[in-house]
Amino acid sequence: MNILGIETSCDETSASIVNDKKEILANIVLSQLEEHRAFGGVVPEIAARAHIDHLHTLIKAAMDDANLKFNELDAIAATCGPGLIGGVMVGMMAGKAIAASQNIPFIAINHLEGHALTPRLTDNIEFPYLLLLVSGGHTQILVAEGVGKYKRWGTTLDDAAGECFDKSAKIMGLPYPGGPEIQKIATECKDPATAIKRFALPTPMKGRKEPDFSFSGLKTAIRLAVDNLPEGDLNRNDIADLACALERTIAEIIADRAKIALQRFKSTYAPKEPTLVISGGVAANTAIRTRLQKLCSEQDTRAYAPPVSLCGDNAAMIAWAGIERLSLGLSDPLDFKARPRWPLDPTAAPRHGAGVKA
């Protein structure tokens, strides 16, 4: 079974072909970084237009890479939400058009489910597993019980973790997207323990019973820390120390919240081999991956993170989610409506003040 996946929900345009043997036959990802950099973030209208400009070329290149013709595809899977609606529409309509012309199933994919199921593409992770989904728009702790079956146990009450990286980077004068830039400059920090003491950043929600998150105070603390540095241009050593302190603090908060959820997961599901999976763009962060591995080894739990190249947005995860769904007989009608909001667990009660990030 060969499925073409299409991803256009944010600032990456991507087309990929994956088969049911878990082989990624093609995965082309075009980042729009340069288009958005001058604005310090993603501009929805620019993103949508860039997807229109590039998607058809990328699909053709992916088909060539996989050495397939359209009539050799078994289905099309496209991200239909959540995300920036203009971009989502571009990918969804392209996917529907190819599905209609070839008379093959169309599968509407929840972008978050793409991230959630990636570990089953890159490894043989069995349901149920505890899932930490950390990206630019979401920070959630869920139990993945099965395809389309998620229990959301925790979410952010304000900013997402990736958003905290991005906004803090901007305050430190680093370019967008901030996460990779902070990781890069943090490696120049000579003494992480001293850097952490030097800035004493807060750890919001640490110790709370419910595994929720809050990151907006951290970004404000970074603002204050920068304001308290000597006037003039920011010194590279100071930025390296601050980046390192921020990265470690975020890793600490995530590990603390994951620990609460892990204990609940074990007592509720009594899994044979308890597994904690981290996925989404922020899962590329080495400090966070390392901290979670430490937590899991203390908790007799398997830690799993997909390869860094599949943590950020890509269409291979969308094609794979399509394979998982089609294998269960699931597909969608051609009048499926794009969904700017699309929670993985629609039954989860809204968290006070959580807004759209829940």
Footprint of ligand KG4 on this chain (CB under 6 A)? 10, 135-137, 162, 165-166, 177-180, 183, 280-282, 284-285, 312-313
- Please, which residue, 66 or 142, has the CB nearer to ligand KG4? 142
**At its nearest, how many Å lie between ligand KG4 and the CB of residue 156?**
12
- Please, which residue, 247 or 331, has the CB nearer to ligand KG4? 247
Contact of residue 86 among ligand KG4, Zn ion, none (CB under 5-8 Å per partner type) = none
Contact of residue 180 among Zn ion, ligand KG4, none (CB under 5-8 Å per partner type) = ligand KG4
Rounded to whole angstroms, the Cα distance separating 198 from 249 reads: 13
Contact of residue 92 among ligand KG4, Zn ion, none (CB under 5-8 Å per partner type) = none
The alpha carbon of residue 260 and the mean position of all alpha carbons in its chain are separated, in whole angstroms, by 21
- Please, which residue, 118 or 331, has the CB nearer to ligand KG4? 118
Contact of residue 292 among Zn ion, ligand KG4, none (CB under 5-8 Å per partner type) = none
Provide the binding-site residues for Zn ion, judged by CB under 5 A: 135, 313
**Counting Cβ atoms within 10 Å, is residue 44 exposed (0-12), middle (13-18) or buried (19+)?**
middle
Rounded to whole angstroms, the Cα distance separating 157 from 77 reads: 31
- Please, which residue, 135 or 140, has the CB nearer to Zn ion? 135
**At its nearest, how many Å lie between ligand KG4 and the CB of residue 308?**
8
Contact of residue 87 among ligand KG4, Zn ion, none (CB under 5-8 Å per partner type) = none
Rounded to whole angstroms, the Cα distance separating 322 from 3 reads: 7
Contact of residue 137 among ligand KG4, Zn ion, none (CB under 5-8 Å per partner type) = ligand KG4
Backbone angles phi, psi at 124, to 5 degrees: -100, 65
Rounded to whole angstroms, the Cα distance separating 192 from 282 reads: 20
Backbone angles phi, psi at 181, to 5 degrees: -65, -40
Q: Cβ neighbours of residue 321 under 8 Å, at least 6 residues apart?
A: 5, 77, 107, 109, 110, 113, 114, 117, 147
**At its nearest, how many Å lie between ligand KG4 and the CB of residue 136?**
3
- Beta bridge partners, 108, equal 78
Strand, helix or coil for residue 29: strand
- Please, which residue, 166 or 313, has the CB nearer to Zn ion? 313
Q: Cβ neighbours of residue 286 under 8 Å, at least 6 residues apart?
A: 183
**At its nearest, how many Å lie between Zn ion and the CB of residue 283?**
10
- Please, which residue, 10 or 172, has the CB nearer to ligand KG4? 10
Rounded to whole angstroms, the Cα distance separating 80 from 66 reads: 24
Contact of residue 284 among Zn ion, ligand KG4, none (CB under 5-8 Å per partner type) = ligand KG4
- Helices and strands (DSSP H and E) totals, the chain: 11, 10
Contact of residue 315 among Zn ion, ligand KG4, none (CB under 5-8 Å per partner type) = none
Cβ proximity of 259 and 299 under 8 Å: yes
- Please, which residue, 274 or 312, has the CB nearer to ligand KG4? 312
**At its nearest, how many Å lie between ligand KG4 and the CB of residue 105?**
25
Contact of residue 282 among ligand KG4, Zn ion, none (CB under 5-8 Å per partner type) = ligand KG4
- Please, which residue, 156 or 301, has the CB nearer to Zn ion? 156
**At its nearest, how many Å lie between ligand KG4 and the CB of residue 91?**
14
**At its nearest, how many Å lie between Zn ion and the CB of residue 289?**
17
**At its nearest, how many Å lie between ligand KG4 and the CB of residue 112?**
8
**At its nearest, how many Å lie between Zn ion and the CB of residue 321?**
12
Cβ neighbours of 347 (radius 10 Å): 8
Residue 129: left (phi > 0), alpha (psi -120 to 50), or beta? beta
- Please, which residue, 278 or 284, has the CB nearer to ligand KG4? 284
Rounded to whole angstroms, the Cα distance separating 85 from 267 reads: 39
